[in-house]
Structure 1
């Protein structure tokens, strides 16, 4: 390393007795990528060469051969068409809607629920008053029931007169508005007497005496479809009542609130209409709870605020729906 002061790239330092040469090398990663790219390019060239040798040159192919090849490529179809037609993710509400479409009898019996398409709604700042839709009124009622203090009510509710119960509900709704849980518009469409009636049914005793009340329970589960692929299903359960049976074992009841109104001369009983419309929904809810918290569901209940009564979905009905699951999944 001495005596090379005239070498290209050398820096002369009179006081030093040696010198350094710095070489910048590519990283091993860069070298590896370059080698891999070269190998892939060589492999592609070999495949193209082999294909040309097997098929002959462009000029050697006859018109019939080219026609056959072009037709084969343009006529190709994906071999799993059922999987394409089946959604990978859906909601319980959408499955319920599809089930209604596949059942002519159910579509006829539930046609009273169909409403004309709402016109374009103006923004709030352009409206002097806003009228809530049926869906929005239902949402308001669900909010109230979600925040109803059932444990507190269980201690004194039966001792109140009906007027005192109605007065309590008035004050409770006002409190929800003050806490900004409800809007004033939502409060105005809630009838306290409807809630009082619910709390006077046998259902209220099951709510008051429950070991645990789960409200607005979200779930996400996979269900098998008829083409053997899994579908991701999402939903939210209004209420799950956890209680102990006579053998001191934990059981569950599914409760779903309904605010559907009935204005029809249909010969079908309203209870039957609700059963037909929502049996699938509650069957899926029950299956979800049994899978998630490993507790047997012994009862599925609809409560109709317009009818002011509870409607039972029999275990036989919901289990038959699940056993024939391919007709809705």
Structure 2
């Protein structure tokens, strides 16, 4: 039998049906109903389930070498991130119209910004024209003209420091590698590493094969006799005689660079160096 009701009659009927059995009575009926053990076990299993790789959901999928290093040694040193973002900004986010000079002015550069500017210069220098101070000065002027450097960045670049590097034994080796065609500058890389590298408290039997992407930028890589030389520039202030402090600070970073070169390029790393611009000195990083 089919019956038709208007809205008022339908609402009244529903309310009457709901009043017949109270909520408390319905709950009591459910409690007294027989338990189906089969479904009880399934429900309890689903409610108590724990994802095997739960800790992996708390890890970043990508991390830079500098950030990884900073977790062990120094606080929030983000040189790689700044350089990657800085290059992207200069290349793809140039303003359509320059603002007035007074709006462009900035009250000094941070040490990290000075380091980023120097790395940019070392990356872009024409190595055929670094034989005199004037040749280097002219190149920096040109970088400023085509907006690879801001006026403020151009002012803080110490030309004599760059010239001194190219006169050093390491600089001479680098220039020779350039002539031989085995030099790479500002070499970005990505490689997979075990998530236990980021958190060594994770159980190895589960997380050794759970990977995160490690990325970074190698300042300079060149080859001699088929083996790799890695060079990283640093602008940190270093008191003379305290080079070991800087070596300890950056050893982890250089080790990751070496591993990247051996894994991704397939070359044995013969030597790793820091060049400390503040004291015009190269420092070799040995293995531990």
Please classify the TM superposition score into its range, dividing by the shorter chain length.
0.5 to 0.7
- Distance in 2, matches of 1:302 and 1:150, equals 20
2:115–2:234 Cα contact (<8 Å) kept: yes
- Distance in 2, matches of 1:193 and 1:152, equals 14
Please, what TM-score do these two structures have when normalized by structure 1? 0.59
209, 214, 225: which is aligned to 1:233? 214
2:190–2:215 Cα contact (<8 Å) kept: yes
- Distance in 1, matches of 2:194 and 2:106, equals 47
Alpha-carbon spacing, 1:202–1:72, altered in 2? closer, same or farther (3 Å): same
1:216–1:237 Cα contact (<8 Å) kept: yes
- Aligned residue for 2:167, secondary structure, equals coil
Equivalent residue number for residue 277 of structure 2: 305
183, 190, 193: which is aligned to 1:213? 183
Alpha-carbon RMSD: 3.4
Equivalent residue number for residue 16 of structure 1: none
Greater radius of gyration (CA): 1
Q: CA deviation at 1:146?
A: 0.7
Equivalent residue number for residue 69 of structure 2: 96
1:221–1:234 Cα contact (<8 Å) kept: yes
- Distance in 2, matches of 1:87 and 1:294, equals 27
Task: Flag structure 1 segments of 5+ consecutive residues without an equivalent.
Answer: 1-56, 101-106, 114-123, 158-164, 245-249, 318-329
- Aligned residue for 1:242, secondary structure, equals strand
1:216–1:238 Cα contact (<8 Å) kept: yes
Please, what TM-score do these two structures have when normalized by structure 2? 0.66
Equivalent residue number for residue 6 of structure 2: none
Equivalent residue number for residue 122 of structure 2: 145
- Cα deviation, 1:134-184, whole Å, max 9, x if unaligned, reads 11111110111112222444xxx3xxxxxxx33332222112212322121
Equivalent residue number for residue 51 of structure 2: 78
- Aligned residue for 2:183, secondary structure, equals strand
258, 271, 281: which is aligned to 2:234? 258
Q: CA deviation at 1:253?
A: 0.6
- Cα deviation, 1:182-225, whole Å, max 9, x if unaligned, reads 12111101111111221221111111211321011111111123
Count residues in correspondence.
Answer: 223
- Cα deviation, 1:228-267, whole Å, max 9, x if unaligned, reads 11121111111111222xxxxx11111111111247xxxx
Equivalent residue number for residue 108 of structure 2: 131
Equivalent residue number for residue 60 of structure 1: 33
1:202 equivalenced with 2:202 (yes/no): no
- Distance in 2, matches of 1:230 and 1:254, equals 25
1:222 equivalenced with 2:192 (yes/no): yes
Equivalent residue number for residue 257 of structure 2: 285
Task: Flag structure 2 segments of 5+ consecutive residues without an equivalent.
Answer: 1-29, 78-100, 197-206
- Distance in 2, matches of 1:272 and 1:181, equals 34
1:150–1:207 Cα contact (<8 Å) kept: no
146, 170, 175: which is aligned to 1:179? 146
- Aligned residue for 2:56, secondary structure, equals helix
Alpha-carbon spacing, 1:127–1:195, altered in 2? closer, same or farther (3 Å): closer
- Cα deviation, 1:107-141, whole Å, max 9, x if unaligned, reads 5xx89x9xxxxxxxxxx965654321111111110
Q: CA deviation at 1:88?
A: 2.8
- Distance in 2, matches of 1:224 and 1:257, equals 28
2:222–2:228 Cα contact (<8 Å) kept: yes
2:228–2:269 Cα contact (<8 Å) kept: yes
Alpha-carbon spacing, 1:241–1:78, altered in 2? closer, same or farther (3 Å): same
Q: CA deviation at 1:80?
A: 3.1
